[in-house]
Structure 1
Amino acid sequence: MARWKKPTKEEILENRRTLAKRARTGDLRLPGAVAEIRKGFGMTQEEFAKMLSLTRRQVAEIEAGSANPTLETLEKIGRLFGFGVGFVPKQPGPT
């Protein structure tokens, strides 16, 4: 398995711009959004967990969609990016 390579500052900035754009269009959805936000900061699960006062396992379970995070936890994650937790219109599926 390939080791995770920490992104450059330029890659982090580009990731963050892309995430912000996707958030504005309602295309940033759970659970994948959590991993994308973490990677947007160029952090490992361990680093991200420590910053949020969570365990690495909690972060992994949230990212995998097997956890049921509290609103408080989701707000902590969103705040890092200046995001709020809310509802967005459902996008139509393929016909």
Structure 2
Amino acid sequence: MPRWKKPTREEILQNRRDLAQRARNGDLRLPGAVAEIRKGFGMTQEEFAKTLALTRRQIAEIEAGTANPTLETLEKIGRLFGFAVGFVPRTMNVSQT
């Protein structure tokens, strides 16, 4: 498996723009969002964990969907990116109405 390559400054900025747009569209879901936020900063799991005062294992478990993070932890993660934790309405298609 190839090692993760740290993104360039421009790639980080583009990742952050894309992520923010997906959040505005309501297309950002846990647990994938945590990995995308972390990668949006160009951080490894270890770096991200240290920033949040968590362990690398906690970050890995959150990203894998095997953890049950507290609201406080989710708010810490979201706050880094300027996100708030909340409910987002599902998009309804014509057959659901």
Q: Same fold by TM (over 0.5)?
A: yes
Residue 90 of structure 1, CA deviation: 1.6
Structure 1 stretches of 4+ moved >2 Å: none
State the identity as a percent: 83
Deviation string 1:61-90 (CA, Å, 9 cap, x unpaired) is 000000000000000000011000000012
Q: 2:35 maps to what in 1?
A: 35
Report how many residues are paired.
94
Indicate whether 1:23 and 2:9 are aligned.
no
Instruction: Name the structure 2 match of 1:12.
Output: 12
Residue 3 of structure 2 is matched in structure 1 by 3
Give the greater-gyration-radius structure (CA). Answer: 2
2-side partners of 1:65 and 1:92: how far apart? 25
Gaps of 5+ in 2: none
| Higher relative helix content | 2
> Aligned AA for 1:25?
N
Q: Provide, for residues 22-70 of structure 1, a one-character-per-residue CA deviation record: whole Å limited to 9, x for no partner.
A: 0101101100000000000000000000000000000000000000000
Instruction: State the shift of 1:7 in Å.
Output: 0.1
Deviation at 1:92, TM superposition (A): 4.4
Amino acid at match of 1:86: G
Partner of 2:74: 74
Structure-2 separation of matches of 1:91 and 1:35? 23
Q: Does 1:88 align with 2:74?
A: no
For 1:28 and 1:85, the matched residues in 2 are separated by: 11
Structure 1 unmatched ranges of 5 or more? none
Task: Report SS of the residue matched to 1:80.
Answer: helix
Q: 1:90 and 1:35 mapped to 2: Cα distance?
A: 22
Q: CA RMSD in A?
A: 1.2
